[in-house]
Amino acid sequence: MRIMKKQKIINFFVTYIVTCSVFIGFCNTSVTFGKEKADKAAEKPVAKEISSQADVSDQHPEIEEGLSCNDCHEIKLDAATTATQVWLYGGYLKWNAGEGIMPQDKIWQHIVTLLGGAKQKRTFVLATALNNKPFTTTVDASLDPDKKVLYVYSEKGTSKLDHIKNNSSVSLNWHKEFKDFSQILCLQVVGKAELFEGTAKEYNEGLLTYEFEYAAAARKMSVEQWKTMMKQNMIMQKITIREVTFIDSSLRGTDYRSQQRWKRQ
Ligand code: HEC
């Protein structure tokens, strides 16, 4: 009886000590764990914003193949000294800085004159990008001058649609073949593209602007027949324009520079 009691007391202490040391050990590891985590965070170098002119130095962390600078860094474009900025706003040729810049609404009107409105088309080069690899295709687009969007309809299954699905940033270029410096006309668009299937209500909205009737005529189909086929086989790209920059040498001799830029507010 006495022995039993002694044994019980010993058992109790053994259990107590083991439990306590496990607990203390646990506390210890979690403290160490937390500290390691904090140390790691403090050590990890941050990729700061860099200028578009920046170069990597010998001390730069190794860059794995396939990564580009903007996978880690935000890249700021120099807003004051790049050539385009000077042509648009700086001291250039006969212009003093800040002179010869069209008001934004006038720039937009000029863009509409160049591109035409509903049921007119321009053939653009469209640039998309996937995994840092740019890709260009040729597209016909019609402009909605009020919404300031471009509509494009293209066959299902093409690479550009895959690109846009993964990266909605697009850029388009429309230009006249260069002849001489007195007849330059080119226009760059930057925007975001959205894709719509034939069943979407936006699809019909786009068809009010996009010139597709010619294609029905070319196929000797009625407009309604062709529309049905388009809805089955084509995807609409609605490109919301963010910025347009043009060079139009026909503006020479006016109160305005031949380079102008419109930006969505
Ligand atoms: C994998 C991510 C990664 C990529 C890709 C990368 N960098 Fe870096 N870069 C870093 C990190 C992280 C630092 C900070 C290093 C440090 O502080 O020790 C850094 C630092 C720099 C710096 C010094 C920044 C400063 O303090 O002014 C420059 C300049 C730079 N990078 C340029 C580039 C350029 C140019 C490219 C593309 C050719 C590039 N980096 C690609 C991660 C990257």
Is the pLDDT at 3 greater than 70? The verdict is no
Out of 3.40.50.880, 2.30.110.10, 3.40.640.10, 3.40.50.970, select the CATH number for domain 103-263.
2.30.110.10
Q: Select from 44, 60, 62 the residue to mutate for testing ligand 1; criterion: most ligand atoms less than 8 Å from CB.
A: 60
Q: Are 235 and 197 in contact (CB under 8 A)?
A: yes
How many other CB atoms are there within 10 angstroms of residue 55's CB atom? 8
Give one DSSP letter per residue of 107-157, joined into a string: HHHHHHHHH--TT--EEEEEEEEETTEEEEEEEEEEEETTTTEEEEEEETT
Range with lowest mean pLDDT among 43-52, 140-149, 196-205, 215-224: 43-52
pLDDT digits (tens, 9 = 90+) for 117-166: 999 999 999 999 998 899 999 999 999 999 999 999 999 999 999 999 99
Question: What value does the mean pLDDT take over residues 200-217?
Answer: 96
**How far does the centroid of ligand 1 lie from the alpha carbon of residue 84, in Å?**
26
Task: Tell me the domain boundaries of the chain.
Answer: 1-43, 103-263
Q: Are 178 and 220 in contact (CB under 8 A)?
A: no
In the predicted model, what is the mean pLDDT of the chain?
Answer: 87
Distances (CA, A) of 161 to 124, 137, 189, 193: 16, 11, 18, 10
Question: What value does the mean pLDDT take over residues 201-211?
Answer: 97
Return the pLDDT at 22.
Answer: 46
Distance, in Å, from the CA atom of 189 to the CA atom of 115, rounded to the nearest integer, reads: 11
Range with lowest mean pLDDT among 2-16, 111-125, 250-264: 2-16
Please list, in sequence order, all residues whose beta carbon lies within 8 angstroms of the beta carbon of residue 123, skipping any fewer than 6 positions away: 138, 139, 140, 174
The reported pTM is: 0.73
pLDDT digits (tens, 9 = 90+) for 76-124: 876 666 788 889 999 998 999 999 999 999 999 999 999 999 999 999 9
Question: In which band, very low, low, confident or very high, does the pLDDT at 28 lie, cut at 50, 70 and 90?
Answer: very low
**How far does the centroid of ligand 1 lie from the alpha carbon of residue 50, in Å?**
8
Atom of ligand 1 nearest to the CA of 46: 12
Residues with CB under 6 A from ligand 1: 45, 47-48, 50, 54-56, 60-61, 63, 67, 69, 71-73
Return the pLDDT at 154.
Answer: 96
Closest by Cα among 146, 157, 152 to 170: 152
